[in-house]
Amino acid sequence: MRLRIEITRRPGIADPEAVTVTRALRELGFDMVVAVGMGRFLLIDVDEADPEAARAAADRMCRQLLANPVLEDYSIEVVAEEVAG
Amino acid sequence: MNIAVVVFPGSNCEHDVVHALRGVGSNPKLVWHRDDDLSAFDAAVLPGGFAHGDYLRVGAIARFSPVMAEIEAMAAAGKPVLGICNGLQILCEAGLLPGALVGNRDLSFICRFVHVKVESTKSSLTAAATKGRVLRIPLNSYQGSYTAQADVLAEVEANGQVILRYCGPDGTVDDNNNPNGSANGIAGVSNAAGNVVGLMPHPERASEPILGSTDGKVLLESFVSALAEA
């Protein structure tokens, strides 16, 4: 199984990098850009056949290490095929 | 008065901290982050640097170093625990202090003297200081902006856990005198009991006249006398 984990800044936590990217995109003429959210993306290959067990493990990984609940939200996707990393 | 100064891979302020703590009459000793017995120590300091390269998030990996179980036990036992800069970030990640540190508002690394105001003397870091006193201490960080969820921030303020706040030379607290965009200008916090403390600026770098300021000394003196009382 492969875990695809997306970690993003919680709403209300300032992200000056994302503000700078927003401004840069608008300066390039992308006037439709209203806001940018930035974060971290992890691909984790696990030796686990049961998708639910894999998801539960991913949730524990996020809570214990990968995300800081003060700053970040996370979402988990479990995909069946394992792609060479 | 034995103080453990914890060295993580990537710590870089440990010798300064040891030197400054000796200067205020304590007996500091460097301990490696893999040490799992700090029973010989009355207090602990997590110095500045880039523990474990700050990989993933500042302090995220360091909080799982074996020594941290001992630090948690010391904190729970009421012993003084101090985190300076990266040390504060680690204590926040470990949940021993509220909140977290994120990138500076202006996305610049800040390395200069700043002013902080003593907001509470009910902590191991500020007990010997006077409330309202303005201290001139160097700041040296990129991930130095303090933040917390709104309810946590309100609680920290209400409990008097904000011990130091960025200010101007005259003590003015406002946005212009907030170097990194920290929530409510918070430069230093304590836990509810006041024994666990952390700050972004470096008191050890303002502990002798040759360094340009001795204002950090009162904080280290507080910490060492908290030790005598603990």
pLDDT digits (tens, 9 = 90+) for B52-92: 999 999 999 999 999 999 999 999 999 999 999 999 999 99
**Does A71 sit within 8 Å of B147, measured CB to CB?**
yes
Mean pLDDT of A23-50: 95
Closest Cα of chain A to B60: distance in Å?
A: 7
Q: What is the extent of the structural domain holding A36? A: 2-79
Q: What is the dihedral of CA B84, B85, B90, B95, to 10 degrees?
A: 80
Q: Under an 8 A CB cutoff, do B107 and A12 touch?
A: no
pLDDT tens digits for B102-148? 999 999 999 999 999 999 999 999 999 999 999 999 999 999 999 99
Q: What is the pLDDT of residue A83?
A: 58
- Tell me what the pLDDT averaged over chain A comes to: 92
Taking the CA of residue A74 and the nearest CA in chain B, the distance in Å comes to 14
d(CA B25, CA B1): 9
CB B100 to CB A68 under 8 A?
Answer: yes
Residue A23: pLDDT over 90: yes
State residue B229's pLDDT score: 65
Q: Is B57 on the interface with A (CB under 8 A)?
A: yes
Catalytic residue among B85, B115, B119, B221: B85
pLDDT at position A85 over 60: no
Q: What percent of chain A has pLDDT over 70?
A: 94
CATH topology of domain B2-229: Rossmann fold (3.40.50)
How does pLDDT run across B192-230, given as a tens digit for each residue? 999 999 999 999 999 999 999 999 999 999 999 987 665
Contacts of A16 in chain B (CB under 8 A): 103-107, 181
Collapsing DSSP states into helix, strand and coil, what is residue B167? strand
Taking only the tens place, the pLDDT of each residue in A41-66 is: 999 999 999 999 999 999 999 999 99
Which residue out of B14, B70, B93, B204 is catalytically annotated? B204
Kindly provide the ipTM of the predicted complex, given to two decimals: 0.81
Asked if residue B26 has pLDDT above 60, the reply is: yes
* Contact across the interface for A70 and B106, Cβ inside 8 Å: no
pLDDT at position B158 is 97
Q: Looking at the domain assignment, is residue A24 inside a domain?
A: yes
Question: Which of A14, A65, A70 shows the shortest C-beta gap to B149?
Answer: A70
Find chain A residues with C-beta within 8 A of B64's C-beta.
65
- The CATH number assigned to the domain holding A45 equals 3.30.1280.10
| Average pLDDT, integer, range A6-31 | 93
Minimum Cα–Cα distance from B153: chain A residue: A70
Predicted TM-score (pTM) above 0.90: yes
**Interchain pair B145, A20: CB under 8 A:** no
How far A61 CA lies from chain B's nearest CA (Å)?
A: 12
* B204 classed as catalytic: yes
Rounded-to-integer distance, Cα B62 and Cα B12, Å: 14
Q: How far is A67 from chain B (nearest CA, A)?
A: 9
pLDDT (0 to 100) of residue A80: 84
Which phi and psi angles does B117 have, rounded to 5°?
-110, 135
Is B208 an active-site residue?
A: no
What pLDDT does A11 receive?
87
**Contact: A68, B60; criterion CB under 8 Å:** yes
How many domains in chain A? 1
- What pLDDT, on the 0 to 100 scale, is given for residue B226? 85
Question: pLDDT averaged over chain B?
Answer: 96
> How far is Cα B187 from Cα B200, in angstroms, rounded to an integer?
6
- B202 as an active site residue: the answer is yes
What does the pLDDT look like over B150-184, one tens digit per residue? 999 999 999 999 999 999 999 999 999 999 999 99
Residue B107 has its nearest CB partner, among A16, A66, A71, at A16
- For residue A84, is it within any domain? no
Strands (DSSP E) along chain B, which ranges? 2-7, 27-32, 43-46, 81-84, 100-102, 110-118, 134-141, 145-147, 162-167, 186-190, 196-199
> Domain spans of chain B?
2-229
DSSP B52-79: GGG-SSTTTTGGGSTHHHHHHHHHHTT-
Kindly determine whether residue A70 and residue B99, on different chains, have CB atoms separated by under 8 Å.
yes
d(CA A61, CA B131): 43
